[in-house]
Amino acid sequence: ALGDLAPDVRGRAIEALGAHGATRHADAIRERAETVEELPEVRARAILALAALCDRRSVDDWTRRAQRAKAPLDEADRRLGAASIAALGRLHPPDLAERLAPLVAKDSPPMVREMARAAIAAETKCPR
């Protein structure tokens, strides 16, 4: 279903894999997240599914995407940035406050500041 023609089917399949802890599919999910031609909504679902799998291999990429949410160039930056902030909050790497510091600054849009603060305050269920 990850290759289905319908983006909603791809997105729901990705969500289901994340919800069921299907870690053996992490590479396929990551491929959807990184495919530039994929719709931002499907890519965002893939980012969140990887976080649900406690997959830390994309933390640096998510940090870059999260920081783009401060001054997004398009809807993809906005959507992927929000998903990346949430994913970082779910994984809660030890340096999360440092990674999201630019987003809690006064010059960040209020919504982005709130998302970053919520991510920093979140507790993780992922092993460290």
DSSP assigned state of 116: H
- The pLDDT tens digits for 5-62 are 899 999 999 999 999 999 999 999 999 999 999 999 999 999 999 999 999 999 999 9
- pTM of the full structure: 0.94
* Contacting residues for 8 by C-beta, under 8 A, at least 6 apart: none
Tokens read off for 18: 């994340």
Please state, in angstroms and rounded to a whole number, the distance separating the CA atoms of residues 103 and 83: 14
Please report, in angstroms and rounded to a whole number, the separation of the first and last CA atoms in the chain.
31
